[in-house]
Amino acid sequence: MLIEARGDEPWFLSLIKRMREDPETRGVALIAVADEGALPSGGGIHRNLPKGLSVDEWAKQLTSLIGPVRKRPIPASPRLLALVAALGLLAVAAVILMFALPQRETTPPIPPGELADWKTQEEMMETNKLLFHEGSWFARPFLGEGVHLTLADGRKLEGFARQEKEGVFLRGMNDAQLIKLSDIRQREPKRQPYEEYWEQAARLSEGDAEGHIRLAQWCLEHGLKLAAKREYRRALIADPNHAEARRGYDRNR
């Protein structure tokens, strides 16, 4: 006898109802299909059950025979597991490629008008034999000679000194000042970093972008930040799309 129980009705009540309809049945073969699980002992039982029991007594008898219901785990689909594994491998491969492949750099171009202005300025300064010093242009005699001064109060100053009636006009890296002769205890000639810069800059050709970048790096190492900016600018005049020159120019604006 095949009994199926579905929905909210316990399977053993379905069995009891069926057996009450056929009281001569002595042996019971049961396969239960219920929402809450499966039967123990392979899914079936065979018992000789006595007749003449009430519905409640049948329920107690069957419950004692069946025992607690075991929950059956739902196995994962092999295809689903394979899909998850494949997606995981793809994610790992994407991360590896992201770090392994070289990243292409994009540098926004300098506006053509700005490049033209830079080039015109450089040509004018070259024609007039002017020298770049801390953002300005000077004739060499106007700057004077490189010196190291020791003042009466113990201070030590360096820069380019030009003799004036009132004293010495000293142009340093960050300022310019007039110093009275009476305040100067000692004056010694000293070669300034800008003098080395002028010599190196004069040896570079106009189209040597790499040379201007190297000189810009030298300027940064020697504290000539404004001169470094100028050299990055000259490198961009030679090659407007040079990524390293553009980065250097932007960092030193």
Instruction: Encode the chain in three state secondary structure.
Output: CCCCCCCCCCHHHHHHHHHHHCCCCCEEECCCCECCEECCHHHCCEEECCCCCCHHHHHHHHHHHHCCCECCCCCCCHHHHHHHHHHHHHHHHHHHHHHHCCCCCCCCCCCHHHHHHHHHHHHHHHHCCEEEECCEEEEHHHHCEEEEEEECCCCEEEEEEEECCCEEEEECCCCEEEEEHHHEEEEEECCCHHHHHHHHHHHCCCCCHHHHHHHHHHHHHCCCHHHHHHHHHHHHHHCCCCHHHHHHHHHCC
Determine the pLDDT at residue 252.
85
pLDDT tens digits, one per residue of 163-214: 999 899 999 988 999 999 999 999 999 999 999 999 999 999 989 999 999 9
**Dist CA 172 CA 185 (whole Å):** 18
The pLDDT confidence band at residue 58, using thresholds 50, 70 and 90, is low
Asked if the model's pLDDT at residue 124 lies above 50, the reply is yes
Q: What is the pTM of this model?
A: 0.58
Residues above pLDDT 70, as percent of the chain: 66
12: nearest Cα among 36, 32, 42: 32
**Dist CA 54 CA 231 (whole Å):** 106
How many Å is the maximal CA-CA distance in the chain? 140
Q: Which whole number is the average pLDDT over 93-97?
A: 80
The pLDDT confidence band at residue 61, using thresholds 50, 70 and 90, is low
Determine the pLDDT at residue 121.
94
236: nearest Cα among 218, 214, 215, 210: 210
**Dist CA 138 CA 130 (whole Å):** 5
Determine the pLDDT at residue 116.
94
Q: Which whole number is the average pLDDT over 229-242?
A: 95
> What are the backbone dihedrals phi and psi of residue 85, each rounded to the nearest 5 degrees, phi first?
-65, -40
Torsion of CA 200, 205, 210, 212, to 10 degrees: 40
Non-local CB neighbours of 13 within 8 Å, separated by 6+ positions: 5, 55, 59
Q: With contact defined as beta carbons under 8 Å apart, do 48 and 29 qualify?
A: no
The amino acid present at 94, given as its one-letter code, is A
Q: Which domains does the chain have, with CATH numbers?
A: 11-66 (no CATH), 112-133+194-251 (1.25.40), 144-190 (2.30.30.100)
Looking up tokens 């010599």 gives: 199
Q: What mean pLDDT is reported for the chain? A: 78
* Per-position b or e across 93-117, b if 16+ CB within 10 A of its CB: eeeeeeeeeeeeeeeeebeeeeeee
